[in-house]
């Protein structure tokens, strides 16, 4: 049987470029090459597309060939530049291993829709919705999901510090991995926090702090057939959780510990998993997503954010939660590719 041709896109021009490369490297270790023929397409920080041998450490300076994903559904794949001519390579499915802007916000998904190639993960609408935390709160709230109290600022707006109850969190409305996020304990700190957030997005979100612990749940599937990973829980010694921003995240965090499975009662674990599924459905997710929530002191579950293309690195939360539930990354990859091709898991 011929192997399925899988275009694996990684890198990108967002601040999460290095994380995407690490995720792709982990996918390379766990992809079943007897079933899948990978075509590795790396996007440099400057936005250049290259067909590479793989996501090794030297891919951006190696002997790669210029390549683009054609929006022409008749091509249904890649156009490779060779000596002034283009060679077309038909792909069966695309696996975007991208994080952040232009990868996780619906822009890349729009290109894939034009191409006609099946792809892993959320569609245009769901990707854009989940990327904008304020819009996700509005939709989830209308479905009966608890969300933090929040306010949004446009590019020309400034908040009135006297109208807020502290502490609050100030963050870019459309960014990931805690880039640009600040905890503000006093009103004097607010202007600087807003300016930090605006380095990543013109739209800024201000949230009232939720008293409780941070928990997460990995979700896999389409529509009604959803699989939940084990719940994880984040314990902080100080500051805020900033995964992927440590100098050496593979060796752990300087201020946080992630416990999988979370040390919570079975009934609470089930509540977190069912709430994550409800959020996933309300926001129209498919394929895979990591749902981050708060678990309050009274046992309530509050939405934090949804990551539609979660990190897949050796230290990332999504694969660890799925592995704890008995699904190693090789099987997760197999299932999400199957979901992209058939609409349901094997």
Catalytic center residues = 19, 22, 99, 244, 250, 290, 311, 315
Which token pair is 13?
A: 């021009």
Rounded to whole angstroms, the Cα distance separating 58 from 198 reads 32
φ, ψ for residue 136, nearest 5 deg = -60, -40
Which token pair is 171?
A: 């963050």
Give Dmax (Cα) for the chain.
67
Q: State the first-to-last Cα distance of the chain, in angstroms, to the nearest integer.
A: 18
φ, ψ for residue 303, nearest 5 deg = -65, 135
* DSSP at 123: -
- List b or e across 80-107, with b for residues whose CB sees 16 or more CB atoms inside 10 angstroms: beeeeeeeebebbbbbbbbbbbebbbbe
Give the strand pairing for 49-52 and 182-184. unpaired
The residue behind tokens 């991995």 is 177
Rounded to whole angstroms, the Cα distance separating 15 from 132 reads 16
């Amino acid at each position: 049987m011929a192997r399925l041709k899988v275009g694996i896109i990684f890198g990108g021009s967002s601040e999460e470029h290095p994380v995407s490369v690490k995720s792709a490297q982990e996918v390379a270790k766990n992809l079943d090459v007897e079933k899948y023929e990978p075509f590795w397409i790396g996007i440099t920080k400057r936005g250049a597309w290259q067909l590479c041998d793989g996501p090794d450490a030297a891919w951006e300076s190696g002997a790669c060939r210029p390549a683009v994903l054609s929006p022409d559904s008749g091509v249904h794949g890649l156009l490779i530049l060779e000596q002034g001519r283009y060679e077309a390579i038909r792909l069966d499915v695309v696996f975007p291993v991208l994080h952040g802007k232009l990868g996780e916000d619906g822009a890349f998904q729009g290109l894939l829709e034009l191409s006609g190639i099946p792809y892993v993960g959320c569609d245009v609408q769901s990707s854009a919705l989940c990327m904008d935390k304020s819009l996700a709160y509005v939709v989830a709230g209308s479905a009966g999901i608890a969300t933090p109290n929040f306010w949004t600022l446009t590019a020309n707006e400034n908040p009135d510090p006297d109208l807020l109850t502290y502490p609050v969190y100030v963050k870019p409305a459309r960014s990931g991995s805690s880039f640009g996020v600040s905890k503000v304990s006093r009103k004097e700190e607010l202007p600087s926090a807003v300016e930090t957030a605006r380095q990543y997005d013109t739209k800024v979100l201000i949230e009232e702090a939720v008293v409780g612990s941070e928990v997460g749940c990995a979700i896999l599937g389409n529509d009604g057939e959803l699989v939940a990973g084990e719940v994880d829980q984040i314990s902080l010694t100080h500051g805020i959780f900033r995964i992927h921003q440590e100098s050496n995240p593979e060796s752990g965090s300087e201020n946080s510990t992630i416990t999988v499975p979370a040390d919570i009662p079975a009934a609470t674990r089930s509540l977190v998993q069912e709430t994550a599924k409800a959020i996933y459905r309300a926001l129209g997710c498919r394929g895979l997503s990591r749902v981050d929530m708060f678990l309050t002191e009274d046992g309530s579950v509050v939405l934090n954010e949804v990551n539609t293309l979660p990190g897949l690195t050796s230290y990332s939360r999504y694969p660890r939660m799925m592995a704890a539930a008995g699904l190693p990354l090789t099987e997760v990859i197999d299932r999400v590719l199957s979901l992209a091709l058939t609409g349901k898991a094997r």
